[in-house]
Amino acid sequence: MRTANRAFYDLFEVQPAETEGRSIFDLGNEQWNIPEFRRLLDEVLPRSQAVTNFQVTHHFERIGRRVMQLNARRLLGLGGPNLSPAILVSVEDVTERSQLEHAYRERVAELAAADRAKDEFLAMLAHELRNPLGPLRNALQLMKHPKASAPTIADMWDVLDRQVGNLTRLVDDLLDVARVTRGQIEMRKTVVDLIPIVRQAITSTKLVVTGRALALSGVPDGPLYVEADARRLEQVFGNLLNNASKFNREGGHIWVTVEAEPGGDQKPAGFAVVRIRDDGLGIDPAMLPRVFDLFAQADQSLARPRGGLGIGLTIVRRVIEQHGGRVEARSAGLGHGSEFIVWIPLARVPESEVAPGTHAPSEPPELQGMARRVLVVDDSQDGADTLARLLRTDGHEVRTAADGPSALAAVAAFRPEVVLLDIGLPGMDGYEIAAKVRKAPAMRSALLVALTGYGQDRDRERARQAGFDQHLTKPVDHATLLRMLRSAKSRG
């Protein structure tokens, strides 16, 4: 090597005395012992005037791993007949640029994968929404058919109830997964007995289980106390039980066990352990590590006989983790069933300190002597009319309104004991109406219920600030609404 410029010495952290008169392959403690570069000089360059855009990655002893862009050119006429031809080597450190290009390519690949996942999700969502709409429409057409028998119509009521439940769970899961992925899901934890929560989840699942002729075991008597959001835990166990049913076979079995696991030094109180096991389709070993991932789907075929959006188990994991617990999936493989195990920290609290209402809900209250004056405010005519008819059938006196001015006029003339008020109304929204209703002296003790499609925590808080007593998301459960109407009794 004859000489180099200052940038060369700075880049490789060497001095001129270390380079001049030495072989470039021995430069700086063999820093240039690069097989690709030796091949360039020994084989390629003698047959070419110039070689450009030659990139190598190498670990140099002094400066570490670098990516270098090399240009080499023979300089003809600078050497005598007894000298080797002179070679000009240009070296550019492109490590940072290479890293940025690599990161860019990875990001492009991630965005492409996310775009494919989005398209697949939208396709699945359309598929899952249409699934319940088909039987709903068929059932309604059959119920209107002049030749439909009474038993057939009775069966269709069950179909309607079941498919509306499917749609409700689908929408709830979509809203929940958006909240949990942003860490915005709110937990209202109290000390509760876990046994009634599991029993209620089993009761809610029995319609699906009975439809598939599955045998479902019970759970032992309690109590088993945990600090938890009872509604969220029921959602968790409901999701796991629905999955166990959906991915089982006709005549299959589901076993549910609940037990206490002793604690150790780190968790002296121990854990409540809930196991939900089935003898159904099982889980492919390749899929097992990803079952809790968002939008994870074992079956990507067009048939997708068991459906689902791949979000239920993600919600299960996030909710349990927010309770300080964990969840695990196990399976011996396809055709060998599966087991989901949930661990929740136990709470050592006397029963006297357990929050009320943690036992299984009672049956819907009797309606005799409970007639109320109810105002239903909704700009959806079908929504208002069907709810009004249902409440009249229950024995209540009901009027309807479709917007703010007509609602306020009805309040003044009718003086309802209960107002079921939609939020998204034209002109004056439900929050404004509630605030005006609360200012009327005769309505200060009335029960104001927000009956709406807006169900996030900030919507509930805004409803409370506007003067609402309760917040229900559509479609409202009939038994829940009846219990709420009963609570208006003390309000006069």
342 and 201 within one domain: yes
> In this predicted structure, what is the pLDDT of residue 59?
80
Q: Is the pLDDT of residue 78 over 60?
A: no
Span 422-427, average pLDDT: 87
Query: Based on the structure, what is the number of domains in the chain?
Result: 4
> In this predicted structure, what is the pLDDT of residue 297?
55
> In this predicted structure, what is the pLDDT of residue 484?
84
In 3-state terms, what secondary structure has residue 190?
strand
Highest mean pLDDT among 77-86, 275-284, 367-376: 275-284
pLDDT digits (tens, 9 = 90+) for 213-238: 556 666 767 688 999 988 889 889 98
> In this predicted structure, what is the pLDDT of residue 274?
93
Q: Kindly report the CATH number assigned to the domain that includes residue 223.
A: 3.30.565.10
pLDDT digits (tens, 9 = 90+) for 2-53: 778 888 888 877 787 777 777 666 655 545 667 777 777 776 666 666 666 6
> In this predicted structure, what is the pLDDT of residue 384?
87
207 and 267 within one domain: yes
Indicate the pLDDT class of residue 287, thresholds 50, 70 and 90: confident
Q: How far apart are CA 463 and CA 448, in angstroms?
A: 10
> Which secondary-structure segment (H or E) carries 349?
none
322 and 427 within one domain: no
- The per-residue pLDDT of the chain, averaged, comes to 78
Least confident of 209-218, 283-292, 315-324: 209-218
pLDDT digits (tens, 9 = 90+) for 347-396: 876 555 555 444 444 444 444 447 889 999 998 888 888 888 888 888 89
74 and 151 within one domain: no
> How far from 281 is each of 90, 124, 206, 246, CA to CA, in Å?
63, 21, 20, 10
337 and 234 within one domain: yes
Residue 305 lies in a domain: yes
Tell me the residue type at 275. Answer: R
Q: Is the pLDDT of residue 471 over 60?
A: yes
Q: Kindly report the CATH number assigned to the domain that includes residue 148.
A: 1.10.287
388 and 420 within one domain: yes
Least confident of 60-74, 122-136, 211-225, 352-366: 352-366
> In this predicted structure, what is the pLDDT of residue 123?
65
> In this predicted structure, what is the pLDDT of residue 34?
73
pLDDT digits (tens, 9 = 90+) for 439-469: 888 888 899 999 887 777 778 888 889 899 9
> In this predicted structure, what is the pLDDT of residue 302?
36
Q: Which of 322, 353, 384 is the last residue of a domain?
A: 353
Least confident of 86-90, 397-401, 418-422: 86-90
Q: Is the pLDDT of residue 398 over 90?
A: yes
Residue 18 lies in a domain: yes
Burial label, 475 (beta-carbon count in 10 A; 0-12, 13-18, 19+):
middle
Q: Is the pLDDT of residue 148 over 90?
A: no
Say which residues have a Cβ less than 8 Å from residue 87's Cβ, sequence separation at least 6. 41, 45, 72, 73, 74, 75
203 and 72 within one domain: no
Q: Kindly report the CATH number assigned to the domain that includes residue 460.
A: 3.40.50.2300
Backbone angles phi, psi at 217, to 5 degrees: -80, 170
Q: Is the pLDDT of residue 199 over 90?
A: no
Residue 367 lies in a domain: no
166 and 31 within one domain: no
Q: Please give the model's pTM, rounded to 2 decimal places.
A: 0.50
Residue 388 lies in a domain: yes
166 and 58 within one domain: no
340 and 203 within one domain: yes
Residue 1 lies in a domain: no
Q: Angle CA(465)–CA(463)–CA(320) in degrees, nearest 5?
A: 110
Tell me the residue range of the domain where 345 lies.
Answer: 190-353
> In this predicted structure, what is the pLDDT of residue 376?
93
Span 95-112, average pLDDT: 90
Residue 359 lies in a domain: no
Residue 475, preceding peptide bond in cis (omega within 30° of 0): yes
> Which secondary-structure segment (H or E) carries 119?
helix 95-144
Q: How far apart are CA 17 and CA 26, in angstroms?
A: 13
Nearest to 173 by CA among 337, 36, 327, 309: 309
Residue 332 lies in a domain: yes
Indicate the pLDDT class of residue 338, thresholds 50, 70 and 90: very high
Q: How far apart are CA 165 and CA 167, in angstroms?
A: 5
> In this predicted structure, what is the pLDDT of residue 340?
95
In 3-state terms, what secondary structure has residue 486?
helix
> In this predicted structure, what is the pLDDT of residue 492?
43
262 and 281 within one domain: yes
444 and 406 within one domain: yes
Q: Which of 93, 126, 145 is the last residue of a domain?
A: 93
More confident residue, 21 or 423: 423
Q: Is the pLDDT of residue 326 over 90?
A: yes
Q: Is the pLDDT of residue 259 over 50?
A: yes
Q: Which of 303, 324, 353 is the last residue of a domain?
A: 353
Residue 105 lies in a domain: no
Span 98-112, average pLDDT: 90
Q: How far apart are CA 442 and CA 172, in angstroms?
A: 36
